A and B are shown apart, each in its own frame.
Chain A
Amino acid sequence: MKGGETSSGGGGQDDSSTAVSSRKNKKPKYSRFTQQELPACKPILTPGWVISSFIFVGIVFIPIGLASLFASEHVVEIVERYDKDCIPPDYRNNSLHYIQTSETNKTCTRTFHVPKHMKGPVFIYYELDNFYQNHRRYVKSRSDKQLRSKASEATTGTCKPEAVTSNGQPIVPCGLVAWSLFNDTYSFSIKNEALNVSKKDIAWKSDQEHKFGSDVYPKNFQSGSFIGGGKLNSSIPLSEQVDLIVWMRTAALPNFRKLYGKIERDLEANSTITVIIQNNYNTYGFGGKKKLVLSTTSWIGGKNNFLGKAYLTIGGLCLFLAVCFIFVYVLKPRPLGDPSYLSWNRNPGEHVN
């Protein structure tokens, strides 16, 4: 009820309403947009389209799958589980004690066989299983600010329960992630000739340059009563602590590998490699497995046939579907857009009210 000024007039108001109309014609302006008539493409799933797109997908996917499988098969991978075997028989029933005391000798020598020629660089990984680096408590327990700059040394609020020492000094780097740093070491030799393990470029450059400060030095690290893992040389800035940087890029899945180093040379087939392992890291407490992995690489990454198989499956399925559709289309075609298929034409009278 807004008085008279908004009403568009009734019978007795002709004067005002025509005056209004001459002043302001409310007719909507024509444009293809407002009339919803924008030029548009209206694709329809015709049998031809569907069959040819399936064939296309099949033709694209099967070669990709084959290429992936091929690449994956060409990766030479040596996986050596050593967590059990590296425990001396006396301690087999008390592996926890073995790993926790400093009195025992943790050195363990293993040898393995190179099945095929491994072209350099050969990547050395350690693989942990059943280790939840993605646990909520764990991934949150770090301070990215502290890692980055010296000024934020004291920002350890998110690092509990490994934030400060018992006398209140901030731990650098703080948090469970750093505290549990993996500290097994490996040294390799072939026929008594030591293999040089390069640590160059094993960490992301971006992490080294921007995430881990070059002026941040480890402090009070692993100084508590309860040691979680490796120690750090406090004279080396965090940006150079590549093992820490690799470790702190927490793994997505409970079964993961981390890059330990590279052997910058080829390994001949059938050669035997001796590795001396310092078995320091405690995975016995939670039944985790430790493996040492030597692997070459390919464009597809490591040895993993899954993707190749997946592509072959999808491609094969598409070709199969294409054949099925061709078959069905030949047997039982339907003319597209035939009005006699409309429901009210099929059984007349149903909709005529």
Chain B
Amino acid sequence: MDSQNPCEGEISLNQWKGGNSVREVRHGSRGGDLEMLGLSQKEIGDDDARLVYLNEPVKSNERYEFSGNSIRTSKYSAFSFLPRNLFRQFHRVAYIYFLIIAVLNQLPQLAVFGRGASIMPLAFVLSVTAVKDAYEDWRRHRSDRVENNRLAWVLVDDQFQQKKWKDIQVGEIIRIQTNETLPCDMVLLSTSEPTGVAYVQTVNLDGESNLKTRYAKQETLPRIPEKEMINGLIKCERPNRNIYGFQANMEIEGKRLSLGPSNILLRGCELKNTAWAIGVAVYCGRETKAMLNSSGASSKRSQLETLMNFETIILSVFLIVLCSIVSICAAVWLRRRRDELDILPFYRRKDFAHGDPKDFNYYGWGLEIFFTFLMSVIVFQIMIPISLYISMELVRVGQAYFMIRDMILYDEDSNSRFQCRSLNINEDLGQIKYVFSDKTGTLTENKMEFQRASIWGVDYSDGRTSSQNDPVQGSKIDGKILQPKMKVKVDPQLLELSRRGKDTKGAKNVHDFFLALAACNTIVPLVVDDRLDSTVKLLDYQGESPDEQALAYAAAAYGFMLTERTSGHIIISIQGERQRFNVLGLHEFDSDRKRMSVILGCPDKTVKVFVKGADTSMFSVIDRSLNTNIIHATEAHLQTYSSMGLRTLVIGIRELNNSEFEQWHLEFEAASTAIIGRAALLRKVASNVENSLTILGASAIEDKLQQGVPEAIESLRTAGIKVWVLTGDKQETAISIGYSSKLLTSKMTSIIINSNSKESSRKSLEDALVASKKLMIVSGTTHNTGPSDEAAVNPVALIIDGTSLVYILDSELEEQLFELASRCSVVLCCRVAPLQKAGIVSLVKNRTRDMTLSIGDGANDVSMIQMADVGVGISGREGQQAVMASDFAMGQFRFLVPLLLVHGHWNYQRMGYMILYNFYRNAVFVLILFWYVLFTSFSLTTAITEWSSMLYSIIYTALPTIVVGILDKDLSRRTLLKYPQLYGAGHRREAYNSKLFWLTMIDTLWQSVAVFFIPLYAYWASTIDGSSIGDLWTLAVVILVNLHLAMDIIRWSWISHAVIWGSIIATFICVIIIDSVPIFAGYWAIFHVAKTELFWLCLLAIVAAALIPRFVVKFLYQYYSPCDIQIAREAEKFGSPRESPNTKIETNPILGSPHG
């Protein structure tokens, strides 16, 4: 156990500085970390350990088992590209199908098509995908190269030399300068700070932008690696992806030191505010925690594609049926003619060329049938629309292009465009039913602003613009004026009071209040240069909590400027006068106490405890016998503040006399050096001293909502999307934000579940269910609507906290929670841990077929982003982690509205139509081939040339459907935003469902009959040859499917015209080219047949006869059973003469955003 003592000493030091337990403040769920650390210092077994010899990379890696520091995110090299890419592509069942067909066709018995023609489609698809993959991989190669060739200072031959990142090895000693990025995971040895502290920013790792403190061991601190050799051995755990954990010990000069997560710097972090830091590399390259965590987003599949697979199976059944019919007929035909086959002029089984007549190309009745079956599979292969997969991919790329270029989705503040990181699920955006949103940074800007204060029972809320230019305020350093970086609105009356010193009673309270704000925190003040004004130095407050930052800036604005913090004291410049306060003790915030306190030794030798915390926890420790009026007034103010959605904190003070201080000091010392249960002991000490406080007042901070959030939520709700907010914040804050973002409204009935055991959770759930049912019955009877109305009239909001969820998730109570939640129009989960967020998402995802979307900005949202069907990352201030895990990334929450309602709607409509159309397009062609086979004694001749068959889905008809899939818009952006209800089309699956599929198939059958039989009867018993009628069928079917598409196009721009008519013309050209090759059987056929009037009359009759039923049905349906989209489209075109009153919605602010 001797290894523990130094570690413990270290941690208590950390505590004094408030460094290590940063995470506790923001994520209550990790409260146990510290305690765990003390207890879990178990010996690392030699087998599991990695041994790193300091400054001896060769010895460290003598078994060559550690990875080097070069990283590779690319998937292929120049040599491996072809085999690996092909291997990956053939994971798709569709391609295997393609391949099998192509291989079958190579067998001489089955050679239906020529070799070239049969391989072409597969080769086309494979090469398009390969080019796309190659381009993506080339980009990854490029970024890898940049990353690997960055330079770092590495100790070589007793001096630091620049070395490329990729050459760094485990065991090497590396020196990092300020603002540099760490090349690998390393154990900190020493830093420029005498205390051995190093500040790092982990924004690239976990998305948190505040600075974290890391410590070098006291034993290694004084070493200067250039001058004296450091010999030592670090024994650490194997590489793992836990970025918050690290276990190791270090043997140095016979001493054994324990290392923890506070001693390691991770790759990807940046060193800040520390001139230099020296460390030894322990994990390199792909073994670093950053790389282990950067596994790519799991590939998702869109729901439409999943549904489509079912229809693809139906089509396969069709295909098998067609092939069976052909085989059976062929069998019967062969059987009936079995005596004639030898001499039948068009069959001639016998080959007399060489003496004895032999069977030519005949393998017996059974095999012939079998071959007929396989050949018909080859001929009818495009029944399974393989080209659809490639078209869908292209369409998604095109849709992504337009989403990225959309100016409405561009965020001015962060200069970020919309990002499509996943190209598989564009159309899912049109069917989202549940939105799970993070709160901080997503709904709100994560920019806290001090708004109001209640001091000694007086409310100061007349915030005006800043008075920063007042020179009295600026304190000076090195002859330069020191100013806080953030400007805060101040109340002039309060400012006046705060400048009056502590003469009067009122002014004294104000003084103490702001002193508490400036001192009772863990803020690290940093002095930075002002880029605009060289005479001014800016004071940047770095801290783990944005609330504390806001309070410290507020204090600074009122003249209480925290300018310096060291381990033992802080310096606060009070109205320009620098005063030194000794920080005697600091009790961290924890989620049980919900408050923090600091014990200050003031310049006037008094010792004071300043406490700030949540109102509920503070009022229990405030001495209520004193100043009753003040307490009541403050409570009233707090009520006002929270109803405005402000985050409130209550501030208290107590002066300690000597004996009290001594007693506390002893206890504190004892607790902070305790080995077991230290956290609990410290908590107890804190509770003892945080008592009988005098109230000073309360602060109110606004967590500013992002622009347009209430309107966005309103729109989403109108669109029938359920918005759930999952936040790590406390319940009160969450509810107040809920109100200010219009998530909760006064009309709603709230059900709140706060339980701390499984039993009570069960009971609350049951009660809540009963209550919600009752509410619904009330609404059902009064409004005479069915119970299926889903609490529409009297909406219910469910508010549930993380503790209750602990008992509910992963237990049998999940079902009840889901039932309850699905009755509620709003669900608010507070105090939830990141994994719980994912749990809630999966709760919904696993129980419904509805689509879920998660939106968040921080590392804590990653799990839920990955869990949901669609993950959206906000590329805001909290770094890139959420963006990296997301499928789509954007700058603001409000962009969700145009993304879902406009782009999602469009994408869904387009993709749904495109799938149906592609099914139709291929099936109609296959059916025409099939009908012809019935007239060729089932021998699978095609009148349409093999080249036309292959080009059909590549050239003749491919482009229009892709262009329509990218460009067609059923409704304008304005209409879609005006009537968010139109989004319901996606929920009701209006664009693609099995009814539509079957209708389309019936239409397909009719159209194929029209195309085939009109020429058949027109040319029956005539001199028509196969090639000519084949050309007629080719042109007829191409014109037909293109006109079919033209009939369904909603917006005809010049591009649509170009592709539709262009495709038809291209087909004519291709047919002409094919018929210009003298060795093809169809030489010059098109010119002969096109000279006859009959040909053109047939074309006209085919098109008319084939399209009339569809046209009639379409018109009747649109006119007499119009869907919402249809009416909206008409309204768009003709205006709406009788706008009904309840559809008047103000022009959406989302639309009104700047338009360039």
The interface of chain A, by Cβ under 8 A from chain B, is 1-13, 15, 17, 20-21, 25-28, 30, 34-36, 38-45, 47, 50, 57, 61, 64, 68, 125, 127, 129, 131-139, 142, 144-145, 148, 160-166, 176, 179-180, 204, 206-207, 210-211, 224-226, 228-229, 249-259, 282, 285-286, 299-302, 304, 306-307, 310-311, 314, 317-318, 321, 325, 332, 334-345, 347-353
Contact = CB atoms under 8 A, between A and B. Distances in A.
A147 B355 CA distance: 26
A351 B789 CA distance: 8
Q: By CB atoms of chain A within 10 A, which of B293, B939, B1098 has the most?
A: B939
B1133 interface: yes
A7 B880 contact: yes
B936 A136 contact: yes
Contacts of A302: 1022
Contacts of A345: 1140, 1142-1143
Nearest to B417: A26
B1094 A300 contact: yes
Given A12-B201, A30-B407, A131-B346, A317 B1108 contact: yes
25 contacts: A1-B293, A8-B875, A9-B414, A21-B415, A27-B1156, A28-B404, A30-B1156, A40-B1056, A42-B1051, A57-B1104, A134-B939, A136-B940, A160-B351, A166-B353, A210-B1078, A211-B1078, A253-B1019, A301-B1094, A304-B1019, A306-B1020, A307-B1098, A337-B1127, A338-B1137, A339-B1131, A350-B789
A42 B417 contact: no
Contacts of A11: 209-210, 877
A210 B345 CA distance: 27
Contacts of A347: 785
A107 to B, nearest CB: 22
Contacts of B1108: 314, 317-318, 321
A4 B204 contact: yes
Given A36-B969, A252-B1029, A349-B783, A28 B936 contact: no
B1087 A206 contact: yes
A242 B1138 CA distance: 75
B789 A144 contact: no
Q: By CB atoms of chain A within 10 A, which of B785, B941, B1055 has the most?
A: B941
Contacts of A255: 1020-1021
Contacts of B825: 353
Contacts, number: 378
Contacts of B717: 353
Interface of B: 143, 146-147, 150, 181, 201, 203-205, 209-211, 267-268, 270, 272, 290-291, 293-294, 337, 340, 343-348, 350-355, 360-361, 402, 404-407, 410, 412, 414-417, 531, 540, 542, 717-718, 720, 722, 783, 785, 789-790, 792-793, 795, 825, 875, 877-880, 884, 935-937, 939-941, 943, 967, 969, 973, 979, 981, 984, 1014, 1016-1030, 1050-1056, 1078-1081, 1083-1084, 1087-1088, 1092-1094, 1097-1098, 1100-1101, 1104-1105, 1108, 1111-1112, 1114-1115, 1118-1120, 1122, 1124, 1127-1140, 1142-1143, 1155-1156
Contacts of B1024: 251-253, 256
B1026 A139 contact: yes
Nearest to B793: A349
Given A42-B1129, A339-B1136, A224 B353 contact: yes
Contacts of A163: 353
Given A206-B1083, A336-B1134, A351 B718 contact: yes
Contacts of B407: 27-28, 30, 35
Contacts of A165: 353
A50 B351 contact: no
Nearest to A49: B1115
Contacts of B1156: 27, 30
Given A3-B204, A145-B1079, A250 B1023 contact: no
B920 to A, nearest CB: 19
Given A12-B542, A299-B1093, A347-B785, 4 more contacts: A12-B272, A47-B1119, A226-B343, A311-B1097
A286 B1014 CA distance: 28
A334 B351 contact: no
Nearest to A131: B346
Contact of B941 (A38, A134, A144, A336): A134
A3 to B, nearest CB: 5
Contacts of A42: 1050-1052, 1129, 1132-1133
A287 to B, nearest CB: 9
A337 B1133 contact: yes
B1084 A207 contact: yes
Nearest to B359: A161
B360 A161 contact: yes
A302 B1092 CA distance: 11
A208 B684 CA distance: 109
B70 to A, nearest CB: 13
Contacts of B880: 6-8
Main secondary structure, interface of A, reads loop
A339 B1094 CA distance: 49
Nearest to A57: B1104
A26 B1017 CA distance: 62
Contacts of A61: 1104
Given A10-B877, A12-B542, A131-B345, A349 B792 contact: yes
Contact of B1052 (A43, A133, A135, A225): A43
Contact of A144 (B1022, B1079, B1104, B1115): B1079
Contacts of B203: 7, 10, 12-13
A138 B1051 contact: no
Contacts of B718: 351-353
A179 B344 CA distance: 12
A252 B1143 contact: no
Nearest to A250: B1026
Q: Which 3 A-B pairs have the closest CB atoms?
A: A337-B1130, A161-B351, A10-B209
Contact of B1026 (A137, A252, A337): A252
B354 A166 contact: yes
A352 B792 contact: yes
A292 to B, nearest CB: 13
B943 A207 contact: no
B1136 A337 contact: yes
B600 to A, nearest CB: 28
Contacts of B540: 12
Given A166-B353, A338-B1127, A353 B211 contact: no
Nearest to A259: B1023
A228 B345 contact: yes
A259 B792 CA distance: 78
Contacts of A318: 1108
Contacts of B1140: 339-340, 345
Nearest to B1087: A206
Nearest to A100: B343
Contacts of A1: 204-205, 267-268, 290-291, 293-294, 884
Nearest to B903: A36
Nearest to A181: B345
A170 B1129 CA distance: 70
B793 A36 contact: no
Nearest to B1131: A337
A317 B1054 CA distance: 33
B337 A28 contact: no
B879 A7 contact: yes
Contact of A36 (B204, B402, B1050): B402
Contact of A339 (B270, B294, B1143): B1143
Contacts of B943: 134, 252
Given A166-B352, A300-B1094, A250 B1101 contact: no
Contact of B531 (A15, A138, A225): A15
A127 B1022 CA distance: 8
A336 B1130 CA distance: 6
Contacts of B1142: 345, 348
B1103 to A, nearest CB: 10
